[in-house]
A and B are shown apart, each in its own frame.
Chain A
């Protein structure tokens, strides 16, 4: 069975500092990994995904994520956080089928 864990309910970071939002996964077969962001009272916006190839994936708004097969992780990173990055971030995994399994979400708070 597929599963995703986001171990941190909330991540706090000062504006201008690097940020990391953690995600680990469990799936049989090749994983397809996604990050989505949800702003208050809005839908989910796609940020980036890993399908195959280069382990470092670059996405929207300066975000990137690194796929680490040995650690079964797909952490989301950004070199310099903005206050406007404050939102709820979801990691998700799928595999052979298109059934997308989401993590519980991590609230990112960027302080000025």
Chain B
């Protein structure tokens, strides 16, 4: 059973398009995250949601909009895609945000986005 899953695995699209990436976790965790890994493999947090509430919102263009329909799902919608958005996007989840930074975050397999 996949604990954190993402769809699609690969996404190739043209500049200016709008696309969504979906994430689901079956671990019963309360908190979910989106990370971006650039071409140099540098990983940076974008957003975190706790029980459908936005908690962390790093300096991310407002073309990126996370949506959490329930605590098991966190989707990422990207408007007006740009070349610089090409990256691997990872979803993650952790159990209990009340324990702060102690909780282990579990990552999905990633979505490889290529903007042409």
Contact = CB atoms under 8 A, between A and B. Distances in A.
B24 to A, nearest CB: 14
Interface residues of A, number: 25
B41 A96 contact: no
Interface string B40-63: 111111001000000010000000
Interface string A34-75: 101010011111100101000000000000000000000000
For chain B, the bracket of interface size reads 20 to 34
A75 to B, nearest CB: 20
Contacts of B44: 102
A42 B94 contact: no
Given A43-B90, A43-B109, A44-B90, A98 B103 contact: yes
Interface string A20-33: 00000000000010
Interface of A: 32, 34, 36, 38, 41-46, 49, 51, 88, 90, 94-102, 104-105
